[in-house]
């Protein structure tokens, strides 16, 4: 009963692990996704920052480029016309140049590889600016001054170089920016898609988890309902069954008793049960220590089940015998948590059993005491009859001394009185007392069988029978008896008892033989499913049908025993001994053909451990 419980528990435990694992996976994936999102976000953001910087740098380049163009245009117009108004773009641009250069340098610093570029340009720009400055000063000083061709060529070369390099750079940058922009766009679109996908996934997981919980919950509800249903069925069955069922919860120390059990005993406990302490008062105090000891042993796990007879108290204080069978239930960790039991009312049979035991004990005591008490007067009978014999001898001697004074007639008469009348009477008394003594002894022996304590041991029956035959060797030889002993088993039984049984049966077979034919005695054994059947078969006088019923009775003897002497107790004794060993005896017989005594002894003798035997039987 403990096993299925264990399995259920194990399943639910693994389910808990499974759920924990699922939650962990969910959490991990959520965490991973967040990490991924923030990573992607950073990536998009840094790409955008870089783009902004590139763009700002390009704008700075562009301003520088425009400054340079304006300066050249202004100086050229001023040189040609000498008009101060046309010099205006130059002046403005020239004033901004240093600032714009610084700005471009500053922006270039933020982008690797760009700063060397601008440093490279800086010299050319300053050179070019001072070239233009010299030309403007020269024109202001000399109205008609015309720059030399070499100056103009140098100016043109510088300007071309700057314009090419910066212009190209700007163009490159612009196309780079465009490319980066497209890439960034893609990145941020991926980012958005990831967010959307992630959200959908997350939502799906939530829905899945919700569905899972819902299903679990419903299954649990179903299971609970089923348990409730089966528990109701269980309670109904318990209440319907007449035998009492009880259930003891070790943790709560609560005892539940089935309704029928309560009804039978007149209890009215609360439906939820009763405290063990309170319940224990309903067990007979004499039965309680043993019961408590066994329950303790079961709680400790030393044994799984227990069976005992105990008295339970009715509500009216009367005790009723019950057979109590208990079993322990264990949980997953193999700890005993509950003890369940069935109490069957055996009051009537138990009372009868006790009555029978008392009767048996009384009978035994009666036999024992009677045979003992009989011995006391026997001592007197024997003693005084012997003393009488002594007195007769003494009297004889005294009479001898005075024989010559008594006449022949009187002598004859005295002799007759002393030896025939008194002597014979005394002899009859002595032989009767002897017989009575034998009878009381036999009775005593019979009474002792009940008290006899069986000692089990391995016995080679063949050897045992041969010992019995040896002790009767004289009679067997004297009467030319053919005695054959077949194969006999090795049994576990009481040696003394078995010796007496075989000894008596063989002796009887010899005693009640026929004198006109050769006597044959055959001893054999057949094996039954649970017992050995021994046979002692003779070809003797046989037993008359009318006597068959008396064979095992006390002090009865069959009619055709002739001169054979006996107390008539042999077979009663033999049967009592065989029954004491757990077997029985019977016979088949025909007058003139012989008798076959068959007795059984069990293969496995259960020695009754007489827990409940009252003291009376022991004394």
Positions touching other proteins (CB under 8 A) are 372-373, 375-380, 382-387, 437
> Both ends of the chain: CA-CA distance in Å?
45
Least distance (Å) between residue 253 CB and other proteins? 46
* Other beta carbons within 10 Å of 566: 15
Least distance (Å) between residue 611 CB and other proteins? 22
Cross-strand partners of 344: 323
Beta-strand ranges (E) seen in 184-284 are: 244-249, 254-257, 274-275
Least distance (Å) between residue 372 CB and other proteins? 6
Least distance (Å) between residue 263 CB and other proteins? 48
In the numeric block, which tokens belong to residue 363? 């009978």
For other proteins, give the closer residue by CB, 94 or 385: 385
* Other beta carbons within 10 Å of 52: 12
Measured distance CA(379)–CA(381) in Å, rounded: 6
For other proteins, give the closer residue by CB, 154 or 438: 438
Least distance (Å) between residue 499 CB and other proteins? 21
For other proteins, give the closer residue by CB, 174 or 439: 439
For other proteins, give the closer residue by CB, 387 or 460: 387
For residue 595, how many C-alpha atoms fall within 13 Å in the half-sphere facing its CB? 25
For other proteins, give the closer residue by CB, 354 or 444: 444
**Helices assigned H by DSSP within 241-346:** 259-265, 276-280, 288-299
For other proteins, give the closer residue by CB, 188 or 367: 367
Find all residues with CB under 8 Å of 290, minimum gap 6, and list them.
308
For other proteins, give the closer residue by CB, 319 or 384: 384
SS3 479: coil
For other proteins, give the closer residue by CB, 376 or 609: 376
For other proteins, give the closer residue by CB, 157 or 619: 619
Measured distance CA(430)–CA(425) in Å, rounded: 9
CA-wise closest residue to 540 among 562, 573, 565: 562
For residue 414, how many C-alpha atoms fall within 13 Å in the half-sphere facing its CB? 15
Least distance (Å) between residue 430 CB and other proteins? 9
For other proteins, give the closer residue by CB, 210 or 390: 390
Measured distance CA(535)–CA(565) in Å, rounded: 24
Residue 43, Cβ density class (10 Å: 0-12 exposed, 13-18 middle, ≥19 buried): middle
For other proteins, give the closer residue by CB, 387 or 586: 387
Contact present, 254 and 277 (Cβ < 8 Å) = no
Least distance (Å) between residue 438 CB and other proteins? 10
In the numeric block, which tokens belong to residue 127? 């050179």
Least distance (Å) between residue 371 CB and other proteins? 11
What single-letter DSSP state applies at residue 332? T
Least distance (Å) between residue 399 CB and other proteins? 23
Least distance (Å) between residue 237 CB and other proteins? 53
For residue 440, how many C-alpha atoms fall within 13 Å in the half-sphere facing its CB? 18
What is the three-state SS of 514-545? CCCCCCEEEEEEEECCCEEEEEEEECCCCCCH
Least distance (Å) between residue 365 CB and other proteins? 12
Least distance (Å) between residue 428 CB and other proteins? 16
Q: Which helix (H) or strand (E) holds 586?
A: strand 584-590
Torsion of Cα atoms, 418 then 424 then 429 then 432, to 10°: 170
Residues, the chain: 619
Is the backbone of residue 235 left (phi > 0), alpha (psi -120 to 50) or beta? Answer: alpha
Q: Which helix (H) or strand (E) holds 526?
A: strand 520-527
For other proteins, give the closer residue by CB, 372 or 548: 372
């Amino acid at each position: 009963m403990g096993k299925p419980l264990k399995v259920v528990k194990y399943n639910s435990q693994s389910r808990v692990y499974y759920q924990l694992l699922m939650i962990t996976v969910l959490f991990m994936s959520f965490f991973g996704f967040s990490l991924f999102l923030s990573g992607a976000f950073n990536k998009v953001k840094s790409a955008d920052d870089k783009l902004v910087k590139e763009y700002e740098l390009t704008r700075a380049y562009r301003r520088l480029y425009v400054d340079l163009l304006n300066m050249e245009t202004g100086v050229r117009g001023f040189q040609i016309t000498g008009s101060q108004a046309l010099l205006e773009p130059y002046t403005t641009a020239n004033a901004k140049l240093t600032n714009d250069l610084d700005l471009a340098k500053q922006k270039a610093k933020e982008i690797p590889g760009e700063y060397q570029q601008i440093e490279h340009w800086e010299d050319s720009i300053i050179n070019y600016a001072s070239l233009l400055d010299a030309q403007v000063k020269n024109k202001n000083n000399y109205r008609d001054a015309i720059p030399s061709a070499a100056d103009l060529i140098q100016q043109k070369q510088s300007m071309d170089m700057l314009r090419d390099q910066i212009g190209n750079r700007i163009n490159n940058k612009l196309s780079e920016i465009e490319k980066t922009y497209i890439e960034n766009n893609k990145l941020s679109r991926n980012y958005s898609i990831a967010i959307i996908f992630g959200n959908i996934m997350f939502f799906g997981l939530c829905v899945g988890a919700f569905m899972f919980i819902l299903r679990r919950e419903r299954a649990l509800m179903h299971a609970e309902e089923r348990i409730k249903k089966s528990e109701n069925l269980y309670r109904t069955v318990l209440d319907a069954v007449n035998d009492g069922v009880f259930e003891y919860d070790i943790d709560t120390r609560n005892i539940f008793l089935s309704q029928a059990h309560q009804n039978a005993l007149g209890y009215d406990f609360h439906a939820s049960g009763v405290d063990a302490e309170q319940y224990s008062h309903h067990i007979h105090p004499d039965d309680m220590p043993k019961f408590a000891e066994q329950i303790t042993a079961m709680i400790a796990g030393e044994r799984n089940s227990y069976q005992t007879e105990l008295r339970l108290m009715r509500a009216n204080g009367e005790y009723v015998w019950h057979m109590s069978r208990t079993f322990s239930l264990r949980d997953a960790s193999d700890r005993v948590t509950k003890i369940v039991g069935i109490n069957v009312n055996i009051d009537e049979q138990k009372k009868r059993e006790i009555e029978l035991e008392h009767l048996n004990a009384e009978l035994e005591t009666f036999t024992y005491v009677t045979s003992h008490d009989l011995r006391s007067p026997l001592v007197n009978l024997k003693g005084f009859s012997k003393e009488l014999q002594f007195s007769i001898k003494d009297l004889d001697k005294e009479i001898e001394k005075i024989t010559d004074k008594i006449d022949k007639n009187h002598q004859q008469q005295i002799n007759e009185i002393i030896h025939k009348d008194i002597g014979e009477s005394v002899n009859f008394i002595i032989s009767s007392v002897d017989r009575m003594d034998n009878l009381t002894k036999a009775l005593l022996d019979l009474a002792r069988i009940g008290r006899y304590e069986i000692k089990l041991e391995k016995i080679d029956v063949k050897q045992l029978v041969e010992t019995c035959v040896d002790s009767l060797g004289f009679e067997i030889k004297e009467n030319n008896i053919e005695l054959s002993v077949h194969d006999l088993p090795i049994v576990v039984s009481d040696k003394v008892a078995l010796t007496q049984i075989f000894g008596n049966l063989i002796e009887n077979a010899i005693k009640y033989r026929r004198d006109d034919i050769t006597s044959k005695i055959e001893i054999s054994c057949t094996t039954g499913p649970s017992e050995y059947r021994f046979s002692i078969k003779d070809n003797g006088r046989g037993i008359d049908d009318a006597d068959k019923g008396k064979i095992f009775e006390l002090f009865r003897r069959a009619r055709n025993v002739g001169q054979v002497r006996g107390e008539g107790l042999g077979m009663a004794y033999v049967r009592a001994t065989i029954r004491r060993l757990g077997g029985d005896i019977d016979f088949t017989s025909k007058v003139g053909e012989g008798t076959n005594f068959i007795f059984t002894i069990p293969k496995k003798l259960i020695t009754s451990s007489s827990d409940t035997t009252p003291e009376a039987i022991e004394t």
